[in-house]
């Protein structure tokens, strides 16, 4: 990269509140402000790079539950937010044909507000939220919260039933089994009966945590990919050129020497490592895992995304464009 002033940084999220930096917002002014504090090395010796798995939790949910409405986002090309927006608010979209992928995906432009409105309830219900959660977090009326919840459950009945079966088994075993055999203990589920008017709040809370762990535990794939990649690095000529500096849930960050060869190596071998899914629970012929390397310039809130398989010329062009825009 010659004189390009792109450096490295040691990054991480802090455990606190107001804001909780373990849940640092990806978008919005607050997220950008916090990320802008992590700037490049002014000496230009190191780059700050990273890779975030592409929709890891959504893909894992589709792969593990085999829910057809989750899988077809990846097999048929549906926009997931559009698909859910139509499921929740379809009567407000009379010109949308639910049987045509292109028609559903056109919601992104035709009904942008409804697509945006669908995101918060989806997130809440995915992580075991309830109608009361939608009333509190989304400002929905009791009637609207109940309606959206019912439609969400109809859309994703297969995956909801899958999670429920796992929780019922946890009530017998005293634990749920997540990624790579990881056991999450559920002593309250084993001692209680769920779904009654007298079920303690703590039991439901443990059930939500256990249900979430069925998907979130697969972020161990991030560790697995890093171990594979850094194993190669430490045995090869780039052992002093690439240094792991942080892991955040489904993303990993590196300090990389400011030269094109090191970036090319990162983009080839790290990308290959995150594509791994040689496990029967997550294998699928068509739905694949992956991600793209990013160079953060001039700081963490600005990312130069490097496509898989990019050539040296491609990377130079992307960096030049970022330099001119900065």
Report how far residue 201's alpha carbon sits from residue 90's, in angstroms, rounded to the nearest whole number. 34
At 5 the pLDDT is: 34
pLDDT tens digits for 32-66?
888 888 877 778 899 999 999 999 999 999 999 99
d(CA 276, CA 199): 41
pTM to 2 decimal places = 0.86
pLDDT greater than 90 at residue 135: yes
Residue, of 207 and 5, whose pLDDT is higher: 207
Question: Does the pLDDT value for residue 95 go beyond 50?
Answer: yes
pLDDT of the residue at 26: 57
264-312: per-residue pLDDT in tens? 999 999 999 999 999 999 999 999 999 999 999 888 889 999 999 999 9
**Whole-number pLDDT of residue 32:** 80
The answer to whether the CB of 289 falls within 8 A of the CB of 272 is no
Residue 20: what pLDDT? Answer: 56
The pLDDT score that the predictor gives to residue 31 is 76
Mean pLDDT value of segment 128-138? 92
Look up residue 324 and give its two tokens.
């001119």
1: pLDDT strictly greater than 80: no
Q: Is the pLDDT of residue 197 over 50?
A: yes
Is residue 113 scored above 70 in pLDDT?
yes
> What is the widest separation between alpha-carbon atoms in the chain?
68
Percent of the chain with pLDDT over 70: 91
Write down the pLDDT at residue 27: 57
266, containing H or E segment? helix 260-274
Please work out, in degrees rounded to the nearest 5, the angle formed at the alpha carbon of residue 250 by the alpha carbons of 288 and 179: 70
CB 174 within 8 A of CB 144: no
pLDDT in tens, 17-37: 555 555 565 556 777 888 888
């Amino acid at each position: 990269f010659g004189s390009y002033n792109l450096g490295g940084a040691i990054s991480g999220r802090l455990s606190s509140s107001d804001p909780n930096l373990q849940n640092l917002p990806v978008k919005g002014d607050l997220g950008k402000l916090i990320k802008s504090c992590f700037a490049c090395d002014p000496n230009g010796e190191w780059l700050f790079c990273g890779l975030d798995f592409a929709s890891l939790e959504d893909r894992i949910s589709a792969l593990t539950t085999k829910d057809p409405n989750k899988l077809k986002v990846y097999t048929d090309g549906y926009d997931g937010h559009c698909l859910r927006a139509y499921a929740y608010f379809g009567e407000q979209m009379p010109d949308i044909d639910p049987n045509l992928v292109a028609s559903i995906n056109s919601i992104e432009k035709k009904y942008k507000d409804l697509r945006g409105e669908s995101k918060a309830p989806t997130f809440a219900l995915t992580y075991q939220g309830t109608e009361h959660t939608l009333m509190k977090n989304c400002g929905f009326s009791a009637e609207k919260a109940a309606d959206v919840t019912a439609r969400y459950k109809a859309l994703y009945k297969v995956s909801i039933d899958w999670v429920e079966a796992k929780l019922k088994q946890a009530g017998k075993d005293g634990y749920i089994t997540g990624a790579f055999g990881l056991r999450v203990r559920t002593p309250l589920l084993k001692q209680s009966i769920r779904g009654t008017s007298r079920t303690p709040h703590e039991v439901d809370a443990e059930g939500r945590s256990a249900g979430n762990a069925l998907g979130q535990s697969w972020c161990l794939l991030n560790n697995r990919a890093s171990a594979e990649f850094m194993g190669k690095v430490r045995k090869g000529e780039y052992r002093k050129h690439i240094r792991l500096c942080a892991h955040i849930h489904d993303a990993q960050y590196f300090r990389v020497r400011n030269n094109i060869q090191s970036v090319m190596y990162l983009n080839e071998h790290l990308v290959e490592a995150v594509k791994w899914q040689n496990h029967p629970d997550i294998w699928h012929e068509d739905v694949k895992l992956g991600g793209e390397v990013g160079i953060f310039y001039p700081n963490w809130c600005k990312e130069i995304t490097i496509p898989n398989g990019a050539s040296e010329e491609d990377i130079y062009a992307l960096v030049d464009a970022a330099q001119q825009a900065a």
